Structure 1
Amino acid sequence: MSITPFQALACPLDGAPLYCQGTSWRCAAGHSFDIAAQGYTHLLPVQKKRSLDPGDSKEMVAARRRFLNAGNYQPIAAAVSRAVLADLPAAASCLDAGCGEGYYMRQLAAATTADGQSLAMLGLDISKWAVLSAAKQDKRPNWVVGSNANLPVLPGTLDRLLCMFGFPVYGEFARVLKAGGRLLQVDAGPDHLRELREIIYPVLKPERPADQQTPAGFTSLDSESVRFPLDLSGQEQIADLLAMTPHLYRASAEGRARAAALTALSVTVDVRLTCFVRNAAD
């Protein structure tokens, strides 16, 4: 399988098709978006930002890159790649909505070995630091700074869409997927990182029962649990895990200090992978 350029970008200002012209993307109305020297494009208009520097910080991105590149979540990546490639059309396109530093897209690219198929890949994140890191590590996918609330993608053009521990915006996901296209969503399960949470929080909140409702415009296809033990050694790995989760900011100073004092930690990785199929338009 060959990785091909993603050609279905839409102008974030008026929704018109974007065309690559030299070192920029342009629409018919003349809106222009430069391709950075590192290979990514900023498609998040300033008026759509909720803060000056939204999304994960440079430090959080670096922690996630170290942790994921060490292979700690490889079983999750393998399950996602299998789900993406199942029944994939010969010429297909895939968006990772909230791609972070691009780990799951790189793993998907490495798993695409079938001959006679092509896959256009787009990674999008609201954090410019995440997209910059992704672009530096792999030039094959297209990388853009953007928002799930206003995806810079033409309607009905995607065969697959990933939402990895992210913020799903189902109306937008339905808009950009083809009929029959699939949304692959990964969410934390009830025991995910329980051992770490027991250390940093005085009391764990009762787990809410899983209530994965099928979003409007979709049909639920199937789901699977990916669960495995993970042994971490050294303060840096433990610190990186904490830094790439929301728990870093939710925990008290005392809880963070208890985690920082650890030199080894065994945790349970427990996530749910759910697949939804985009319904045909009414």
Structure 2
Amino acid sequence: MTHRSPFQALACPLDGEPLHLEGGTWRCASNHSFDVAKQGYVNLLPVQQKRSTDPGDSKAMVAARQRFLAAGEYAPIAEALSQAVVSHADQTQAETYCCLDAGCGEGYYLRQLAHNVPESQALSLLGLDISKWAVQSAAKQDDKQAPICRWVVGSNAQLPIQSASVDSVLCMFGFPVYSEFACVLKTGGQLIQVDAGPQHLRELRNIIYPTLKPTREKETNVPEGFARRASEQICYAISLEGGDVIRDLLTMTPHLYRASAEGREKAAALDQLTLTIDAQLTVWERD
């Protein structure tokens, strides 16, 4: 018996009214309608919410991230994330635990979460990203007969999700919009935020940049509506073999665009690289 149920609490991105699924179309009371694509996702990003014609990660970035993450280099981060979710699910004892990945990319962390959460815990997952290429990739990798997740093209700046409907929000190396997260979370719900630590990919950055800025201690301000509950540093080393793997890592990060042409050439010449992975996991609780 499966305990993975599709997320239902979507909201119309045009008027905020609840959406209901009728056949292959999501529809609100005002008759705004959004068709489910053949790959299994729905686009809830209206043209007026786009800052460009093709926002978010490009098709090449998504493909590179999918190849790199599939090799398991970030598995310890996914495991720590899963432990935080399982612990919170045990505390809340929700009949069905609803979790949103806000900036889900190609779905790696949600797939790992679905694998790591015990079958006895009823789970309802929603993956949302502003990049249609990312959401398409995530949906294509899901099981069409028994999908683990609902996949949506949407923006963190205006989440198409009903208020107080989510137990947990994940923000993985992403762009947090705390006011929106606070709106969709239930009271006592948690936000799990993972950010790059000061040593993250330092060896690669040493190669592609002429100089590195001195590490500054980041002030952690408590977002309005939240209380800090826990923090964990996830730090380990990986060794990459082959130019293709190193190229994928660079392509999936913002460093691809920040580095100079000379820096990218230096990275392209590498066929082996030992790297520090340094991630900071913070758990915030919705007041």
Cα offset for 1:208? 2.1
User: 1:267 aligns to what?
Assistant: 275
- 1:65 positional shift: 0.1
The structural deviation recorded for 1:212 is: 1.4
- Answering whether residue 51 of structure 2 is matched by residue 43 of structure 1, we say no
Given residue 44 of structure 2, which amino acid in structure 1 is its aligned partner?
L
Is 1:125 equivalent to 2:129 in the alignment? yes
Structure 2: which amino acid aligns with 1:125?
A: D
TM score, norm. by length of structure 1: 0.97
1:98 maps to which of 99, 103, 106: 103
TM-score, normalised to structure 2's length?
A: 0.96
Q: In 1, distance between residues paired with 2:234 and 2:81?
A: 10
Q: Provide the secondary structure at the position in 1 that maps to 2:106.
A: coil
- Tell me the residue number matched to 1:203: 211
**Runs of 4+ that moved beyond 3 A:** none
User: How far does the alpha carbon of each residue in 1:26-56 deviate from its partner, in whole angstroms, 9 at most, with x for none?
Assistant: 0000000000000000000001100000000
Q: Take 2:81 and 2:268, find their aligned partners in 1: how far apart are those partners?
A: 31
2: CA distance, partners of 1:253 / 1:268: 23
Q: Provide the residue aligned with 1:164 in structure 2.
A: 172
Contact 2:13 2:46 in 1 (8 A): yes
CA distance in 2, matches of 1:190, 1:106: 27
In structure 1, the residue corresponding to 2:128 is in which secondary structure?
A: strand
Letter in 1 for 2:95: A
Report the counterpart of residue 141 of structure 2 in structure 1.
137
State the match for 2:229 in structure 1. Answer: 221
Equivalent residue number for residue 263 of structure 2: 255
Aligned residue type for 2:140: K
Matched, 1:112 2:117: yes
Give the residue type in structure 1 aligned to 2:134. A
Q: What SS class does the counterpart of residue 274 from structure 2 fall into? A: strand
Residues 187 and 286, structure 2, Cα contact 8 Å, conserved in 1:
yes
SS at match of 1:144: strand
CA distance in 2 between counterparts of 1:147 and 1:170 reads 13
1:29 aligns with 2:33: no
Equivalenced residues, count: 278
The Cα of 1:140 is off from its aligned counterpart by: 2.1
Distance 1:213 1:259 in 2: 35
Cα-to-partner distance string for 1:228-264 (whole Å, 9 max, x where unaligned):
1010000010000000100000000000000000000
Q: CA deviation at 1:3?
A: 1.1
Q: Distance in 1 between matches of 2:119 and 2:87?
A: 11
* Unaligned 5+ runs, structure 1: none
Matched residue type, 1:82: Q
| SS of alignment partner, residue 258 of structure 1 | helix
Q: Deviation at 1:225? A: 0.3
Mark the runs of 5 or more structure 2 residues left unpaired by the alignment.
Answer: none
Structure 1 residue 85, shift from structure 2 partner: 1.1
- Contact conserved, 2:111 with 2:148, CA < 8 A, in 1? no
Give distance in 2, aligned partners of 1:207 and 1:34: 47
CA–CA distance in 1 between the matches of 2:110 and 2:158?
21
Deviation of residue 113 (structure 1)? 1.5
Deviates more, 1:106-115 or 1:24-33: 106-115
**C-alpha displacement of 1:90:** 3.3
Among 153, 174, 178, the alignment partner of 2:182 is 174
Aligned to 1:54, the other structure's residue is in SS state coil
Q: Is 1:9 matched with 2:15?
A: no
Matched position secondary structure for 2:211? coil
Matched AA of 1:194: R
Q: Which residue does 1:240 correspond to in 2?
A: 248
Per-residue CA shift, 1:98-124, capped at 9, x if unaligned? 000000000000011142x21110000
Once residues 159 and 42 of structure 1 are traced to their aligned partners in structure 2, the CA distance between those partners, rounded to angstroms, is 23
Quote the Cα distance in structure 2 between the aligned partners of 1:173 and 1:140.
22
Q: Is the 8 A contact 2:156 2:177 kept in 1?
A: yes
